[in-house]
Every structure is written in C-alpha cells, then in structure tokens.
C-alpha cells in the first residue's frame, strides 16, 4: 500500500509538488483547496499524464478534508502569496488565520501525520501550527532552509563554473532576507573549503545574493517562486516517507540547541520515518551563531504580533 501525502493549496507551488511526487510514484496524493474545481482540474490533468510518466500514483483533487484522512504527511502551502513590496512579516496575520485552521483540520483527519509547513512567513507559521495542534517537535517541520540552501549552492556553482552536484553548502537561521545565515565556515566544493577557492569579497557577494534571492524572483515574476520551493519540499517528504535519514536544513523547534529554546529556527536535522529524528548541532563561527540567535529573537518578536 502506497503512502499518502496531502498538499493543502493547489496553486503553482502545490501543483508543482503534486507533479514531482507523481513522477516519483511512491505515494498517493491528495490536492486540497478551497477553490472549487481548481484541485479537481489539476489532479485530473496530472492523472492523464500517468501513462506517459509511468506512474500509478492516485491523485485526488478535492475541497473536502474527509478525503485527506489517514495522510502520512500533510504539506501546508495555503496562504496569501508574497507580492512586490510586501515583506514576509506583512503576511503574518493574514496567513496565521489560514494556517491555524488548516493545521487543526489536518490533525483532526490524520492524527498521526507529520506536518511540513511551507506557507510564509514560514518560521512564524510553524509557531502558529504548533500552538494550534500541540504536536511534538518531531512531527512539525518547516521548509525554508532547503530552498535558501539550493539558491546558495547554485550561486556558488555559477561563480566557480563547477557542477552544482559538487557544492555542499547550507543556509541556517530564519527564512527572511534579514535573518537567514548562509554558512561559509562549512561550505565545500568538491571537498575543498570555499574560502580556499574564492576571495572574501566574492563570497560576500554570493551570500548577499542568496539573502535577496527571493526578493529578486518576486521582482521578476510579480509573485514568489514555485519550482525550486516545490522540489525542496519534496526532498523533505522523500526523506520522511522513504526513511532516508537525510541531514537537511529545515526549521525545527529548538530545545536548547545553540542556546536557543522554544523557537523555530533553521538548523540541520535528520529526517526519517519518525519525522525530525535528530538535530545536528554543528560548530559555528561566532558571527554565524549570533545569526541563529538573531533569527530566534526575530521570529519570537513576530509571533508576539500574531492576533489570536
């Protein structure tokens, strides 16, 4: 019997996630949205592609939470998208009301599910989902570091003219321009430290572009990215449902790691069948550690603005 994944929100990102998961073929997919016809139409279109991609995955489009019952993973993408001139902080109260209701319904219909939070501002929405469901930290994780890290790796590869496969680098901290922390001290290219390959000014430029990458795309598209965020989220779902035990950058409820408590912050975590199975605490340089703590303070300050 295949695993079951529910994607809440059938927009560009949710639809892309369903597309990627269908090609992988290891799970059935429920695409849920409040807009009548949207999830049904996308699900039917994807189903028609099944014979072409060789996938027997069943895709259900629905407006009814009952169809999500028994989901192993629920990905929450629903919410207002980021628009030009809008910070993620501007979204907090708009999306908090949506995420609160969605998280509660997800757990109501799938009591054992693992939630992957995607809607922005992601760090704060993880807090909202936790407050709404009281899930233990292993069953609620945020996608932000996966996206920011793949952007970081891409820019490093472009700068050096190497394959992206040979770049091992990650972004921790928050999922905002001001709070993300691209980690330079552990960045490797073909096992060679990045600092041996590039001067500080070029590394600084890559770090700066990484921080502003989301804003760059919003300026070009008029809305947030969807392809790379979808792929980043599916990598997390893969590791959970296939019990791959991968070490991935994602937002986790910290319980003393890095001197941080009771805040969702991007760290390296092992994802497996149990969800967040372990937080990998690495030795960071003082400015990097300060960045993580700044991210924790920022998300707690943002959460204090959420109206209950």
Q: Residue 208, CB half-sphere, CA atoms under 13 Å: how many?
A: 6
User: pLDDT tens, 28-45?
Assistant: 999 999 999 999 999 999
Whether residue 175 lies in the annotated active site: yes
Give residue 211's pLDDT. 97
Active-site option among 19, 48, 175, 186:
175
Instruction: Specify whether the CB–CB gap between 53 and 23 falls below 8 A.
Output: yes
pLDDT band at 223 (very low <50, low <70, confident <90, very high): confident
Domains plus CATH for the chain? Answer: 3-142 (3.40.50.720), 145-303 (3.90.110.10)
Rounded Cα distance between 297 and 263, Å, is 8
Tally of CA atoms within 13 A in the half-sphere of 165 that contains its CB = 0
Judge whether residue 281 has pLDDT over 90. Answer: yes
Q: What is the C-alpha to C-alpha distance for residues 26 and 114, in angstroms, rounded to an integer?
A: 17
- pLDDT, residue 91, reads 72
- Residue 23 Ramachandran class (φ > 0 left, ψ -120 to 50 alpha, else beta): alpha
pLDDT score at 143? 97
Determine phi and psi for 304, rounding to 5 degrees: -65, -15
- Say what the pLDDT of residue 26 is: 96
Rounded Cα distance between 27 and 31, Å, is 13
pLDDT at position 113: 98
Full-model pTM = 0.95
Joined tokens for residue 216: 């760059």
Could you report the per-residue pLDDT of 57-105, keeping only the tens digit for each? 999 999 999 999 999 999 999 887 666 676 656 678 888 999 999 999 9
Q: pLDDT, tens digit, for every residue of 142-191?
A: 999 999 999 999 999 999 999 999 999 999 999 999 999 999 999 999 99
């Amino acid at each position: 019997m295949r695993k079951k994944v529910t994607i809440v929100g059938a927009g560009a990102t949710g639809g892309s996630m369903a597309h990627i998961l269908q090609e992988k073929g290891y799970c059935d997919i429920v695409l849920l949205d409040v807009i009548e016809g949207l999830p049904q139409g996308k699900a039917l279109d994807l189903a028609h592609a099944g014979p072409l991609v060789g996938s027997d995955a069943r895709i259900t489009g629905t407006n009814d939470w009952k169809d999500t019952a028994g989901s192993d993973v629920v990905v929450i993408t629903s919410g207002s998208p980021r628009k030009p001139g809008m910070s993620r902080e501007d979204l907090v109260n708009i999306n908090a009301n949506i995420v609160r209701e969605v998280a509660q319904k997800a757990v109501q219909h799938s009591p054992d599910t693992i939630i992957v939070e995607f809607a922005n501002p992601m760090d704060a929405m993880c807090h909202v989902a936790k407050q709404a469901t009281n899930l233990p930290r292993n069953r609620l994780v945020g996608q932000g570091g996966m996206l920011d890290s793949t952007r970081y790796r891409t820019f490093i590869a472009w700068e050096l003219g190497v394959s992206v496969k040979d770049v091992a680098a990650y972004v921790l901290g928050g999922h905002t321009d001001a709070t993300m922390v691209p980690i330079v001290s552990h960045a490797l290219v073909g096992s060679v430290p990045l600092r041996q390959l590039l001067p500080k000014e070029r590394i600084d430029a890559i770090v700066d572009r990484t921080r502003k990458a989301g804003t760059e795309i919003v300026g070009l598209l008029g809305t947030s990215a969807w392809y790379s965020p979808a792929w980043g989220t599916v990598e997390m779902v893969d590791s959970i449902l296939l019990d791959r035990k991968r070490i991935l950058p994602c937002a986790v409820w910290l319980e003393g790691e890095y001197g941080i408590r009771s805040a969702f912050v991007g760290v390296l975590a092992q994802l497996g069948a149990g969800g967040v199975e372990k937080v990998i605490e690495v030795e960071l340089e003082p400015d990097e550690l300060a960045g993580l703590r700044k991210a924790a303070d920022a998300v707690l300050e943002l959460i204090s603005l959420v109206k209950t």
